[in-house]
């Protein structure tokens, strides 16, 4: 019941906040923090009790729902799901604790955050395809209201574009799920059965169409070029904590879905198109980095680096799917790197978007030309931003390097020319973040920033925890790799 607890506690907290009209802002935040932390602790307990050498899926809870259709409440985790879900729960705690102008609607704001936490974790924990889709779709509702009600700029337009664009992807995903469901006899939505039986093997065009629908729906969520156009403006207009969740958690649903659905359930078909997916991932890597370099808006720049980093993840997944090598250890290495990239990107970019929120709260401005010389004025802010920036560009000793090294090592063994071209993306990303640091923190301090305030205790405490995670994964990643490697090996046929 430990995974059910992780889902139920934030959902109950959201219901309590929505139904209690007399709570103060401080009480609403307190309730939200308690619910989010309890959910995180439940996943930590699941992590401690997870046996890497055991079966693929563990901590399984199952309750019959609609037996005639093969639908059930099924949740469980492998090492990949557990690592991404735990990172997501930590990021929700950070987003809830981080200071935010709720415009007198704290109760509603924290209720939507807790609702979004519950359904987001549901995506990573679900073992039933229909349940996966329900949770996947409900995340759009939570983020739509967070952007539309507490965003800035043109939040309602950005929220509407985000919802319609990603909902179109969800509909494609639904069609593919129906195709998978009908391919089994007897019909069932049980992911474990689909993974074990591989019902699409040898089905040619039918399997190819299901694979295409899956990948298009998930590519919009990731997002991959050219299906990314909803992302930059949604980030710019969203409040800082919502941007942290959007980049750190919701984007991972696309790449996690690629691992859980096409990679695990359509191995033969994915192998046929692995090179095509890898090339698309390379385009995202280079395009995201190049366009980020040209952005003057701080938030838009970081948003495009997310496209770049999700490209690394998809590249690792495509390499793991490649079938023309007998070296399953190489494919396991690439899949492990893709998963570590999801965890590392969540912590790193989550921290960067929270930092963007701090800039907005102080100045109401994202234009990089508005800033400069803040290193002496706000040394803590400078330090945390620099750490996250160096982690994002892949500096050794930080989380980003661990992930990218594994992805590129696996890629070089199978698609060496893609690995060589992909490394160029790291070089451009370095230019993106070094230029950002220079323009924010160095040079002469403008007169209008003379009263710029250093990070508050709540801000530096949250950023300190995320930064600690970035450093620990970079220096001593064994605890994370041990969790992921066994599950990655089972998915690609290793031991």
pLDDT tens series, the chain, 495 aa: 899 999 999 999 999 998 887 888 888 999 999 999 999 999 999 999 999 888 889 999 999 888 878 889 999 999 999 999 999 999 999 999 999 888 888 899 999 999 999 999 999 999 999 999 999 999 999 999 999 999 888 889 989 999 998 999 899 999 999 999 988 888 889 999 999 888 888 788 888 999 999 999 999 998 898 888 888 889 889 999 999 999 999 999 999 999 999 999 998 899 999 999 999 999 999 999 999 999 999 999 999 999 999 999 999 999 998 865 556 788 899 999 999 999 999 999 999 999 999 999 999 899 998 898 899 889 999 999 999 999 999 899 999 999 999 999 999 988 999 999 999 999 999 999 999 999 999 988 888 888 889 999 999 999 999 999 999 999 999 999 999 998 998 888 744
In whole angstroms, give the CA distance from residue 205 to residue 209: 6
Confirm whether 127 is domain-assigned. no
Say how many domains are in the chain: 1
Tokens describing residue 433: 């973040």
Confirm whether 111 is domain-assigned. no
Tokens describing residue 458: 């709540």
- pLDDT for res 495: 41
Confirm whether 282 is domain-assigned. yes
CA 177 to chain centre: 22
Per the structure, the complete domain to which residue 453 belongs is given by 266-495
pLDDT tens digit sequence for 225-282: 888 888 888 988 999 999 999 999 999 999 999 999 999 999 889 999 999 999 999 9
- Three-state DSSP state, 63: strand
- pLDDT for res 199: 85
In the chain, pLDDT over 90 holds for what percent of residues?
71
Confirm whether 215 is domain-assigned. no
Confirm whether 287 is domain-assigned. yes
Confirm whether 438 is domain-assigned. yes
Scanning the structure block, which residue is given the tokens 């949604």?
A: 234
- pLDDT for res 303: 92
Closest alpha carbon to 257 in 136, 381, 144, 374? 136
Confirm whether 333 is domain-assigned. yes
Tokens describing residue 485: 């490697």
In whole angstroms, give the CA distance from residue 397 to residue 412: 22
**Do 458 and 97 form a contact (C-beta atoms < 8 A)?**
yes
Confirm whether 2 is domain-assigned. no
CA 354 to chain centre: 15
With both helix axes pointing from N to C terminus, report the angle between 106-125 and 129-150 in degrees, rounded to the nearest 10.
150
């Amino acid at each position: 019941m430990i995974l059910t607890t992780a889902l139920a506690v934030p959902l109950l907290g959201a219901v309590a906040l929505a139904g209690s009209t007399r709570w103060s802002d401080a009480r609403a935040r307190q309730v939200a923090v308690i619910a989010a932390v309890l959910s995180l602790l439940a996943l930590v307990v699941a992590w401690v009790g997870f046996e890497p050498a055991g079966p693929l899926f563990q901590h399984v809870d199952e309750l019959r729902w609609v037996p005639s259709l093969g639908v059930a409440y099924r949740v469980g985790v492998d090492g990949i799901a557990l690592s991404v879900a735990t990172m997501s729960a930590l990021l929700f705690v950070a987003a809830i604790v981080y200071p935010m102008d709720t415009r007198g609607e704290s109760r509603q704001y924290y209720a939507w955050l807790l609702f979004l936490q519950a359904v987001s974790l549901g995506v990573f924990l679900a073992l039933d395809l229909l349940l996966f889709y329900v949770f996947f779709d409900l995340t759009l509702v939570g983020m739509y209201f967070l952007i539309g009600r507490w965003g800035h700029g043109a939040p309602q337009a950005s929220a509407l574009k985000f919802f319609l664009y990603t909902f179109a992807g969800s509909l494609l995903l639904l069609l593919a799920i129906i195709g998978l469901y009908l391919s089994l006899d007897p019909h069932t939505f049980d992911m474990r059965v689909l993974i074990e039986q591989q019902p699409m093997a040898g089905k040619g065009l039918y399997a190819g169409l299901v694979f295409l629908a899956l990948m298009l729906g998930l590519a919009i969520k990731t997002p991959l070029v050219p299906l990314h156009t909803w992302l930059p403006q949604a980030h710019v207009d969203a409040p800082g904590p919502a941007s942290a969740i959007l980049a750190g958690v919701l984007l991972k649903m696309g790449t996690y879905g690629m691992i859980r659905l096409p990679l695990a359930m359509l191995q033969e078909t994915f192998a046929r198109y692995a090179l095509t997916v890898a090339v698309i991932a390379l385009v995202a890597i280079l395009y995201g980095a190049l366009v980020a370099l040209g952005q003057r808006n701080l938030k838009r720049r970081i948003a495009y680096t997310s496209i770049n980093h999700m490209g690394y993840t998809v590249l690792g997944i495509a390499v793991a799917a490649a079938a023309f090598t007998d070296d399953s250890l190489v494919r396991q290495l690439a899949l492990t790197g893709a998963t570590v990239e999801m965890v590392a990107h969540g912590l790193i970019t989550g921290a960067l978007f929270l930092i963007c929120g701090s800039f907005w709260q102080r100045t109401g401005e994202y234009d990089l030309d508005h800033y400069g010389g803040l290193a002496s004025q706000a040394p803590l802010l400078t330090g945390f931003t620099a750490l996250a920036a160096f982690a994002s560009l892949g500096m050794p000793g930080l989380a980003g390097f661990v992930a990218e090294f594994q992805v590129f090592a696996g890629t070089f063994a199978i698609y060496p020319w893609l690995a060589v071209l992909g490394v160029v993306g790291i070089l451009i990303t370095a230019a993106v973040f070094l230029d950002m640091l220079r323009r924010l923190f160095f040079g002469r301090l403008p007169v209008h920033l003379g009263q710029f305030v250093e990070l508050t205790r709540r801000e530096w405490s949250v950023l300190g925890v995320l930064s600690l995670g970035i450093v620990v994964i970079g220096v001593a990643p064994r605890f994370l790799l041990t969790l992921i490697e066994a599950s990655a090996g089972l998915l690609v046929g290793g031991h």
